[in-house]
Chains A and B, each alone.
Chain A
Amino acid sequence: MNFADIQKRAVAKWEELQRSPESRILVGAGTCGKAAGASAVLRAIDDALGRHGVKAAVIQVGCMGLCYAEPMIGIIKPGRPQIIYGNVQPEVATQLIADYVANDDLRPDLALGYIGDGKIDGIPNLFDLPVLKPQVRLILRNCGLIDPENIDHYIANGGYSGLVKALSMSPEAIIEEIKKSGLRGRGGAGFPTGQKWEFCRRAPGTEKYIVCNADEGDPGAFMNRSLLEGDPHSVLEGMVIGAYAIGANHGYIYCRAEYPLALERLRLALKQMEEYGLIGDNILGSGFNFHIKIKEGAGAFVCGEETALLASIEGKRGMPRSRPPFPAISGLWGKPTNINNVETWANAALILQKGADWYAQYGAERSKGTKTFALVGKVERTGLIEVPLGITLRQIIYDIGGGILKGKKFKAVQTGGPSGGCLPASLLDSPVDYESLTAAGSIMGSGGMIVADEDTCMVDLTRYFLTFTQAESCGKCPPCRVGTRQMLDILTRIVQGEGKPGDIQQLERIAMTVKQGSLCGLGQTAPNPVLTTLRYFRDEYEAHINQKRCPALVCKDLIAFYILPDKCQGCMICMRSCPVDAIGGGKRLVHVIDQSKCIKCGTCVDVCPPRFSAVVKVSGERVEVPSQPVPVQKPE
């Protein structure tokens, strides 16, 4: 069967599905959806459909990125746009089946918005919601809307037309097209993709490899996982195009073992491609052969670095080596190899589908296109977002993210994971592009964006990142192996209240040494969190070192909890909840915390009824409280 027939059949099936007289229920069942309880929702839907004797197709889809509203479901009834409902717990799902699917009550009170043509009174268009309005969803266009396990859904929505076009072009013309689009590597470093492909194409040798880097190890990042779970074919199409342009007959996908669902979907997608002749020998009759193997990572962050990743595919310890030679000349098994990130491959497919000029209309001058980010931490609306490059941090955090959780004050945004930096409020209006973020001391990175509020201690957060990089340092080069350990030791002393004058200068010296002297990206960027926090949040370091005070009230060794005698009603709730029995007192007796026993877990603050709010957390000050339980002073 040629592709035109495959496409015609897929479109017919898709349209039939759109016109189907049966209701369809789409359930967001990516990893996030499942973590939020999608499995229980699926069971509730099945039960309810059975009870009402209604037939409906239940389809599991990927993530729409509105993680804050998970679990989410979409209901399509014939002749109506899809209605999306958020925070659908099983009982809500049961209700929706009864009210909307079995009867015809749209339940606008539970709806987030609708998708598609038409208008529904009382329900907004989903894409007009503040969270989606500033977004431009190119890479994530299919996520949550098509069945990722059905290749026909992808094809019916324009999928693999980019490959068909590519196969009719010369490899050089494809590379020109990618260059013209302005696409830069989405793994973080931002190297121009077309140029990278060209290096590898021109490298001498007939045996070449391409690799998809899906070893998304940055803590706080899940863009690649969502894309692989929600639309795996978009990545695979890009890989086949790239392989053809570069002249590679073998490809690898190196994916973290921590992503079982993404791996499962990739395996299934490859099988479906084989059936359609989109992979294997003589792809779509072009005479071009290309095979893909999946390699599961075994849990080493450094394997996101390209030379370490190649070593790991070869079955060795994932340790980086010095470059040159670059992988484009000597990579996997010593052969020319081109490595791109998941999102870069998906972008390549889109560029071939729609053309470089179309693509280049999005984004900023030197950073074209869109970028996906995992917007997480202390924002109201966490989620997976896609925005045109050049948008400001403020737009992302406040317009899309809805501002800081519980109306607290913004303190910092961390981009680029452990390799990136923490940017303060004064930089909220800077644009998100490769150059601006680098100038601010951070990096674009793969797309983790973690928001910290006033309750986040920047010294503690920096120590957290160093704990991570120190543990993940492969140990090959001394600047990284020794330097990350030294920085971690100093930071640990500071958060424990044992900081000394001169620590800040010492940290700066070590950070610069590690940055300049390390072999690979891990070491070269590991000091970024230290350097940016010293640059923007130096006062917090000084408070820890000079006044032994943690301004954000986080560092356990520098804080204390007290129960205020004029507020405590002697209700015994905190006493019973304390995991180490550090609270004395009794009924109607003011409770007293034994400071020598207290482990600063904060449980007493959590459980003290808000109308009393008798427990306070302080740092660097003493609160006068009775040393023994005394009768309650001001009964309720």
Chain B
Amino acid sequence: MPDELAQIVADYGGEKGALIPILQKVQERFGYLSEEAISRIAKLCRISESEVFGVASFYAQFYFTRRGRHSIKVCLGTACHVRGGERILDEIKRELRVESGGTTEDSKFSLERVACFGSCALAPVVVIDKDVYGRMTVSKAKEVITQYE
């Protein structure tokens, strides 16, 4: 891991305001921001570790623990809320025995609730990895999940 991370930082060549894009690239490559990654980014960017962690922990996009192979995001935007998104989340939680924000024991799925994907006209919406599923129902959601290995 060391060289790839250094390369990502070097690609930004000390550009102003590059910390967030660097964190995004590192997470994209390694799946999450480990303690070691944060400490190395801090050294390479010549800022304190607390500043790096302070920025990273402010934004919902960054994870500090390893994630499952697939990410399930249940939208709970307003449109999804009034059309029953919560029920779908409850059912997935029960089915996979995982809390939102958590990862299943077999590391297959990470489950998250998110505020809005902007696909509100097709509410309720579930996003698995990069696939967007609209007009979900409890039973359709359960069926969709089984398609992922």
Do A and B interact?
Answer: yes
Residues of A within 8 A of B (CB): 31-32, 34-36, 67-68, 70, 216-222, 225, 257-260, 295-296, 298-301, 312-319, 333, 374-378, 382-384, 414, 417, 448, 450, 452, 456, 461, 464-465, 468, 472, 474, 579, 599, 601-603, 606
Chain B residues near A375 (CB-CB < 8 A)? 121
Bound Cα distance from A326 to B87, whole angstroms: 44
Bound Cα distance from A216 to B23, whole angstroms: 22
Report the minimum CB–CB distance from A437 to chain B (whole Å): 17
Chain A residues near B20 (CB-CB < 8 A)? 295-296, 298, 312, 315
Most A CB atoms within 10 A — which of B62, B78, B121? B121
Chain B residues near A217 (CB-CB < 8 A)? 115-116
Chain B residues near A221 (CB-CB < 8 A)? 116, 118, 120
Chain A residue nearest to B54 in the complex (CB): A317
Are B118 and A216 neighbours in the complex by a CB distance under 8 Å?
yes
Chain B residues near A316 (CB-CB < 8 A)? 19, 55
Contact of B24 among A296, A312, A382 (CB under 8 A): A296
Are A448 and B78 neighbours in the complex by a CB distance under 8 Å?
yes
Contact with A along B47-90 (1 / 0, CB 8 A): 00000001100111110000000000000111111110001001
Bound Cα distance from A319 to B116, whole angstroms: 21
Are B82 and A70 neighbours in the complex by a CB distance under 8 Å?
no
Contact of B58 among A317, A414, A456 (CB under 8 A): A317
Interface assignment of B9: CB less than 8 Å from any CB of chain A: no
Report the minimum CB–CB distance from B22 to chain A (whole Å): 9
Are A32 and B121 neighbours in the complex by a CB distance under 8 Å?
yes
Are A35 and B125 neighbours in the complex by a CB distance under 8 Å?
yes
**A220-B77, A384-B121 are contacts. A35–B59 as well, Cβ < 8 Å?**
no
**A35-B132, A296-B21, A602-B87 are contacts. A333–B16 as well, Cβ < 8 Å?**
yes
Are B60 and A298 neighbours in the complex by a CB distance under 8 Å?
yes
Query: What are 23 A-B contacts defined by CB distance under 8 Å?
Result: A31-B119, A32-B119, A35-B122, A35-B133, A218-B116, A219-B77, A258-B114, A258-B116, A298-B20, A298-B59, A299-B60, A300-B58, A312-B20, A314-B16, A317-B58, A374-B120, A377-B79, A377-B82, A382-B121, A382-B123, A450-B120, A461-B82, A601-B87
Bound Cα distance from A45 to B117, whole angstroms: 27
Chain B residue nearest to A468 in the complex (CB): B115
User: Can you name 10 extra interface pairs (CB under 8 A) apart from A257-B61, A298-B60?
Assistant: A31-B118, A70-B134, A216-B118, A218-B116, A220-B116, A258-B116, A300-B59, A300-B60, A382-B122, A461-B78
The 6 closest A-B pairs by CB, nearest first: A67-B121, A219-B77, A222-B118, A299-B60, A298-B59, A220-B78
Interface assignment of B135: CB less than 8 Å from any CB of chain A: yes
Contact of A601 among B19, B80, B90, B118 (CB under 8 A): B90
Bound Cα distance from A417 to B118, whole angstroms: 12
Report the minimum CB–CB distance from B10 to chain A (whole Å): 16
Are A301 and B115 neighbours in the complex by a CB distance under 8 Å?
yes
Contact of B62 among A31, A298, A314, A377 (CB under 8 A): A298
Are B130 and A260 neighbours in the complex by a CB distance under 8 Å?
yes
Chain A residue nearest to B120 in the complex (CB): A376
**A296-B21, A315-B20, A450-B82 are contacts. A70–B62 as well, Cβ < 8 Å?**
no
Bound Cα distance from A602 to B91, whole angstroms: 11
Bound Cα distance from A260 to B77, whole angstroms: 18
Bound Cα distance from A148 to B28, whole angstroms: 27
Are A377 and B78 neighbours in the complex by a CB distance under 8 Å?
yes
Interface assignment of B94: CB less than 8 Å from any CB of chain A: yes
Report the minimum CB–CB distance from B59 to chain A (whole Å): 4
Are B61 and A299 neighbours in the complex by a CB distance under 8 Å?
yes
Report the minimum CB–CB distance from B120 to chain A (whole Å): 4
Are B132 and A456 neighbours in the complex by a CB distance under 8 Å?
no
Are B120 and A222 neighbours in the complex by a CB distance under 8 Å?
yes
Are A219 and B79 neighbours in the complex by a CB distance under 8 Å?
yes
Are B17 and A464 neighbours in the complex by a CB distance under 8 Å?
no
Contact of A417 among B78, B80, B130, B132 (CB under 8 A): B78
Report the minimum CB–CB distance from A211 to chain B (whole Å): 12
Chain B residue nearest to A603 in the complex (CB): B138
